[in-house]
């Protein structure tokens, strides 16, 4: 895990996102490929309620959106420069010292999902914020990338972490999504001081499954403890959030969208509920 695609928008959340990416990069000596999406005014208008404007009103609206986009781009570049100076990180566009974290910055001129998916698929890890923002990305960008890029996505919390590898909590359910999440997170788990595998008791064999996973992780040099938590009438997301609080997790690893997407449109998603209610960095894999 050596290349980390990091989305910045030119807003006040950039520093938290950059610090989250740095916390992931430090134990791996990875490169931060920082990307800002500079959206043309005509595309930004789709998410800014300009569909009823016409004539002069439409021109004014588009001019304002163009000006905002340019301001956001300037701020994003400045935020990255300040971050590198403060963290004493070299900015470079090609691999140099493999033992140190490095940073590059570039712009993308469209927020088309296909283009962002292209960038994500060519990276080992993606870091982005969870909150809706107005600086370029479409409202459903996080969901689209989780479902389509085939790469793990690290969703930042509201505060900048000092580390992600003191205590890592792995949420396990017998599903392909959980298996892929653990595989994707293994380089980080191998650097963690403490790994806790957590499962919500839904059957008699829950503990056996968790202990078997712990044995498999041991072959990768990852020592993990197991905790089976009772649902106790709570929603699974609430039970997992309480478990993360109990073990003081710096990072939570979980599979995304364990059921078919069509069903989750009707019944909701444990993943979405956990993201909404647990203010911790979360590594997701679909």
Each residue's pLDDT tens digit, 106-155? 999 888 889 999 999 999 999 999 866 666 677 788 888 998 999 999 99
Domain boundary, last residue among 94, 127, 155: 155
Q: Is 9 domain-assigned?
A: yes
Q: Is 162 domain-assigned?
A: no
pLDDT at res. 49:
53
Residues 22 and 57 in one domain: yes
Q: Is 161 domain-assigned?
A: no
pTM: 0.88
Domain boundary, last residue among 131, 155, 179: 155
Residues 172 and 147 in one domain: no
Q: Across the strands, what pairs with 200?
A: 229
Residues 269 and 184 in one domain: yes
Residues 210 and 141 in one domain: no
Domain boundary, last residue among 112, 127, 155: 155
Q: Is 189 domain-assigned?
A: yes
pLDDT at 234 > cutoff 80: no
Residues 9 and 41 in one domain: yes
Q: Which residue range(s) make up the domain with 115?
A: 3-155
Residues 140 and 194 in one domain: no
Q: Is 40 domain-assigned?
A: yes
Grade residue 200 by pLDDT with cuts at 50, 70 and 90. confident
pLDDT at 44 > cutoff 80: no
């Amino acid at each position: 895990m050596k290349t980390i695609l990091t989305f910045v928008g030119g807003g006040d959340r950039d520093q938290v996102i950059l610090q989250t990416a740095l916390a992931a990069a430090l134990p791996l000596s990875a490169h931060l490929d920082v990307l800002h999406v500079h959206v043309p005014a005509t595309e930004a208008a789709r998410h800014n309620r300009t569909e009823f404007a016409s004539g002069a009103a439409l021109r004014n609206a588009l001019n304002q959106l163009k000006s905002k986009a340019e301001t956001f781009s300037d701020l994003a570049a400045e935020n990255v420069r300040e971050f590198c100076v403060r963290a004493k990180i070299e900015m470079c566009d090609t691999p140099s010292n493999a033992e140190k974290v490095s940073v590059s910055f570039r712009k993308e001129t469209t927020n088309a999902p296909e283009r962002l998916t292209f960038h994500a698929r060519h990276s080992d890890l993606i870091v982005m914020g969870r909150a809706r923002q107005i600086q370029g990305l479409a409202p459903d960008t996080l969901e689209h990338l989780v479902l389509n890029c085939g790469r793990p996505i690290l969703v930042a919390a509201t505060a900048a972490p000092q580390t992600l590898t003191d205590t890592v909590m792995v949420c396990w359910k017998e599903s392909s999504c959980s298996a892929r999440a653990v595989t994707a997170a293994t380089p980080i788990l191998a650097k963690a001081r403490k790994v806790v595998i957590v499962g919500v008791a839904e059957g008699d064999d829950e503990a056996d499954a968790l202990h078997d996973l712990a044995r498999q992780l041991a072959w990768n040099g990852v020592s993990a403890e197991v905790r089976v938590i009772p649902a106790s009438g709570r929603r699974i997301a609430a039970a997992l959030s309480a478990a993360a609080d109990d073990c003081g997790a710096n990072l939570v690893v979980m599979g995304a969208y364990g059921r078919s997407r069509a069903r989750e449109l009707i019944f909701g998603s444990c993943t979405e509920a956990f993201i909404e209610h647990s203010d911790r960095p979360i590594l997701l894999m679909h």
